[in-house]
Structure 1
Amino acid sequence: METTRDGGWKQGCLAEGTRIGPWRVVRWHGQGAHGVLYQAVQVRSPWPSPVALKLALAPEDPRFAREVTLLTRLRHPCLPRLLGHGHWRHPAGTHHPFIALEWVEGTSLYDWARERNPSSRQVLLLFAQLTRALQAIHRAHAVHRDVKGGNILVRASDDRPVLTDFGSGDYQGSERLTWRSMPPFTRAYRSPEASRFAFRFIHEPESHYVARPSDDLFSLGVTAYRLLTGRYPPTQLPSAEAPTWNPADEGPWSLRSLNPRMASALEALVLRMLSPLPEARGTAQELAEALELAAARAGAEAELPLFEPSRLPQERPSLFRQASAWALGLRSVTSLAVGLLLLWLGQTVSQRANVSLLRRLAPADAGARDAGSVAVGDTSLTAPSASHLAPSSEVIALDLPPTPLPGQSVPDTNGRCLRRGQVAINGGCWIKFALDDEACAENADTTYVHKGRCYAPAFPPRRQPTSTQGPNVSP
């Protein structure tokens, strides 16, 4: 077991039989940026049932305490039950928090859709259960902040969806843990209002976005859109002023054009979740009631399987070699976490990007992982057979927008950027970083991919702010 300077370990792989509190490790099951997931059993139980045991990579990681506090406030059949928590003493003397959760035997949402080819009525009922789970979260004055297909497991025994991975969750009154402007969203699922905030305050790090229940509902809408069409909707905004895509518009991205087999009631409710106006999405309770009513009233069209056998939704080809390695079934993959990316913020603040890459080698029996996970990785709570695993990639590398971002530096009349190290692309000035596609897409809210290279927008000098923009929250 190789140990890092901060007391964590590079592989994060404990041997079978290792005791962690009252549990015994059975096998490694997954790893994220901050923790490792094991299947474990209770030591003294005569009929031990498996539990999902999450162990922090870093000593005394405060994220785990916040997750425990959040989970203790939640009770719902579509949310994982907290079974215990504590600290495990590393042989080096450091103490690492752990969390034990109920083990969910099932498969991820998108894989379930490909295997089952559900009807519109089945999808309406499934999303009604998920919105009831969000209702329980929001009633506790909390937000999940990472709702997506990879964090939803469909239990094999009863087809009940379970929303997992609360490592990114937050609740009212929690302590702030990071100093980033944006919460740890998976960018493809980020709401328009969050995107507008990111673009508007991109060069004001003292500003902080407050994630709200409406953000969770929008992310659920993106999840439904992708399940129904096999694609992500073009939800990212190229400017702070207005979106380029309205979900209600007819066109090549409309739900009906991509999947005419879905019931009209299902389409209408997905469009409601994807509304650019947060208030138009309603509350989780209102949305759940609408989904349940639509499932009860839908006619024969709601019984039609959503996909023709020859056109079952497939994962979009990954942009990243690591995701391709999983799809090919390679036995060894690399997990990447980018520590900190500092952008050049103008003539008086010209910091170079400082990126720390920590690569961890997964053991040979590694299962599928969620490539876009921003937390510990509860997606590994599922335990299907190897033949059922179809790895999905939640990471989206955004192309450079066709026009400059608001306030972005632009080239002079000769097409040259004034600052050294900046390049002119699409009418704006950009800074190029030596990051691969996955690092560029997964670890920065303001980076883009262009011809296989990673870029961030350059901004001119700004005046010293006289007041803080945005509320001070824990992203």
Structure 2
Amino acid sequence: MLPAHLNPARLPLGTQVGPWRVLERLGMGAHGAVYRAIGAQSPSRPVALKLALHPGDARFAREVELLSRLRHPNVPRLLDHGVWQQPSGLHYPYLVMEWVDGVSLYDWAREQRPTSRRVLHLLASLARALEATHSAGAVHRDVKGDNVLVSDTEGRAFLTDFGSGNYLGAATLTLPPFPPGTPAYRSPEAWRSVRLPMRAPIVPYAPGPADDVFALGVTAFRLVTDEYPSPPDVASRAGQEVEADAPSARALNPRCCQELSALTSQMLSFRPEARGSARALAEALEEAAHEAGPEADVPLFGQEAPRPVEPRPAPRPLPRRAPGRSTHAWFTAASLAGALALGTGWMLRAHSDDEPETVHASVPKETEDGGTAGVGDSALTAPVPPSRAPFAWSTIAEDLPPRPFPGQRRPNANGRCPEKPQVPINGGCWIKQSVELKDCGEGGYVYKGACYMPVILPTRPPTSSPTERPDRR
């Protein structure tokens, strides 16, 4: 017999979730735990089961709706969704995805040492997946290498984890200023949207297709160089209008062919309109993969470090569609975020490892990045050590409040919380999250260098006439 307080974050082997039986846990994030599972009808074919950690989490309904609109060979199929009833009576939504037997994009690159031509083909397939997403009136909002899986059998890339996604008409679930996502992959216009001083009402930034394209550019840059694209020094030029060129991957890795480097720089353009649509980008990547010369067939990574000894050459300027038009320096709002931290108590922290919420995996990922779990990436161009993420991508997270929230579970008379994973802090019960601080932005709070989420007691069902549950705005 299962215990009454069975934890959705750590289901035992064999637990039934709808028609699915849990085989193993792959990872956990702030809002969901991911398991490998099988169904009674096809026990030989595993699936990826994602289970909410909080009863009635509306994010799952939004993700199901988004995935139900997508039919693309580079997006895992939604197979099932439902609600799992905990033995104690609480209801947790879940969804089931097609199983992808593969590894994350960055791990794949380290193991396979691909050529520029192979990377061009792979990026083109991801751009096609984004094209399908945008055509469905949706945005992914968390494109990054650890949300991309490359299958071991076909070498096909899959864009995964649409839990941060949004679509036209969906309810707002995240507090401003930013929606869910990984700070290192946010676009310049997202950072520029932060204005000081912040006065109510605060209008949250709404990412669009251009934000997804920019994030794909950051992914490509890191894939090729094992570094984040470094912005200029914005701290000393906050608020100034300056001309700036997107970074060049070829400047860091001379093995990168000219075509791949140029298209990566295009995706990283400061002006959203200069990046092009996902469809136009996919066409350009496919054409480059076909037309590139022998240079594109050189492995991007070798046993020796391919970095130049001389100083980095200046990146080649991109064609400007609107000559004379000035733009903000890279992530000028990052400096504003620093001031925001001083003025409002928000915290900024830099990190080198982005966090994946990989929904599908062939191996357990207890320490991976994103929302679920993640392993820190090792340098692709060893022996040069990986660099730290720039200050511009520091995370914004709220400090732990001095008093518990309304409806938050309180410690008992002995000062202890009723369940073991919960810890008492400032008069309330909290759960420490296994995510990096840079991803502790949505519903998370920083305390002593870690990310915590409050334990909110479930709302009692109405005893009179039913009422519609209000959405979190």
Asked whether the two chains share a fold, i.e. TM above 0.5, the reply is yes
Q: Given that residues 143 and 216 in structure 1 are in contact (C-alpha distance below 8 angstroms), is that contact kept between their aligned partners in structure 2?
A: yes
CA offsets 1:88-127 (integer angstroms, 9 cap, x no match): 0001100000000011000110111111111111010000
- Determine whether 1:29 maps to 2:29: no
CA offsets 1:192-218 (integer angstroms, 9 cap, x no match): 000111255755562111100000000
C-alpha distance in 2, partners of 1:159/1:26? 25
1:72/1:225 CA distance change after superposition, 3 Å: same
- Determine whether 1:382 maps to 2:366: no
Residue identity matched to 2:287: L
> What is the correspondence of 1:153-302 to structure 2 with a 5 Å cutoff?
153-199=149-195, 202=198, 204=200, 206-235=202-231, 238=235, 241=239, 246-248=244-246, 254-302=248-296
1:202/1:85 CA distance change after superposition, 3 Å: same
Residue identity matched to 2:38: V
Q: Given that residues 235 and 245 in structure 1 are in contact (C-alpha distance below 8 angstroms), is that contact kept between their aligned partners in structure 2?
A: no
1:358 maps to which residue?
Answer: none
C-alpha displacement at 1:27, in angstroms? 1.1
C-alpha distance in 2, partners of 1:144/1:137? 7
Q: Given that residues 107 and 154 in structure 1 are in contact (C-alpha distance below 8 angstroms), is that contact kept between their aligned partners in structure 2?
A: yes
2:105 maps to which residue?
Answer: 109
> What is the correspondence of 1:315-334 to structure 2 with a 5 Å cutoff?
none
- Determine whether 1:392 maps to 2:376: yes
C-alpha distance in 2, partners of 1:474/1:74? 26
C-alpha displacement at 1:443, in angstroms? 2.3
C-alpha distance in 2, partners of 1:344/1:310? 42
C-alpha displacement at 1:69, in angstroms? 0.2
1:98 alignment partner, SS class: strand
Q: Given that residues 26 and 40 in structure 1 are in contact (C-alpha distance below 8 angstroms), is that contact kept between their aligned partners in structure 2?
A: yes
Q: Given that residues 57 and 96 in structure 1 are in contact (C-alpha distance below 8 angstroms), is that contact kept between their aligned partners in structure 2?
A: yes
1:443 maps to which residue?
Answer: 440
- Determine whether 1:62 maps to 2:58: yes
The answer for unaligned runs of 5 or more in structure 2 is 308-339, 348-352, 369-373, 379-386, 394-431, 451-470
- Determine whether 1:100 maps to 2:83: no
Q: Given that residues 78 and 129 in structure 1 are in contact (C-alpha distance below 8 angstroms), is that contact kept between their aligned partners in structure 2?
A: yes
Residue identity matched to 1:187: P
Say how many residue pairs are matched. 357
Q: Given that residues 8 and 58 in structure 1 are in contact (C-alpha distance below 8 angstroms), is that contact kept between their aligned partners in structure 2?
A: no
C-alpha distance in 2, partners of 1:80/1:93? 31
C-alpha distance in 2, partners of 1:81/1:308? 36
C-alpha distance in 1, partners of 2:180/2:438? 13
Residue identity matched to 2:259: A
Q: Given that residues 33 and 50 in structure 2 are in contact (C-alpha distance below 8 angstroms), is that contact kept between their aligned partners in structure 1?
A: yes
> What is the correspondence of 1:10-29 to structure 2 with a 5 Å cutoff?
12-29=9-26
CA offsets 1:111-152 (integer angstroms, 9 cap, x no match): 111111111110100000000000000001100000000100
C-alpha distance in 2, partners of 1:240/1:262? 32
C-alpha displacement at 1:157, in angstroms? 1.1
1:48 maps to which residue?
Answer: 44
The answer for unaligned runs of 5 or more in structure 1 is 314-342, 355-369, 402-434, 455-472
Residue identity matched to 2:303: P
Q: Given that residues 248 and 261 in structure 2 are in contact (C-alpha distance below 8 angstroms), is that contact kept between their aligned partners in structure 1?
A: no
C-alpha displacement at 1:247, in angstroms? 4.1
C-alpha distance in 1, partners of 2:472/2:219? 25
2:304 alignment partner, SS class: helix
Residue identity matched to 1:64: F
1:453/1:199 CA distance change after superposition, 3 Å: farther
2:402 maps to which residue?
Answer: none
C-alpha displacement at 1:179, in angstroms? 2.3
Residue identity matched to 1:24: R
C-alpha displacement at 1:12, in angstroms? 1.3
1:59 alignment partner, SS class: coil
Q: Percent identity?
A: 47
Name the Cα RMSD after superposition: 3.7
Q: Given that residues 221 and 273 in structure 1 are in contact (C-alpha distance below 8 angstroms), is that contact kept between their aligned partners in structure 2?
A: yes
C-alpha distance in 2, partners of 1:195/1:138? 22
1:36/1:440 CA distance change after superposition, 3 Å: closer
1:206/1:345 CA distance change after superposition, 3 Å: farther
- Determine whether 1:144 maps to 2:140: yes
C-alpha distance in 2, partners of 1:89/1:131? 38
C-alpha displacement at 1:15, in angstroms? 1.1
1:460 maps to which residue?
Answer: none
2:330 maps to which residue?
Answer: none
1:147/1:240 CA distance change after superposition, 3 Å: farther
> What is the correspondence of 1:305-384 to structure 2 with a 5 Å cutoff?
305-311=299-305, 372-373=355-356, 377=357, 379-384=358-363
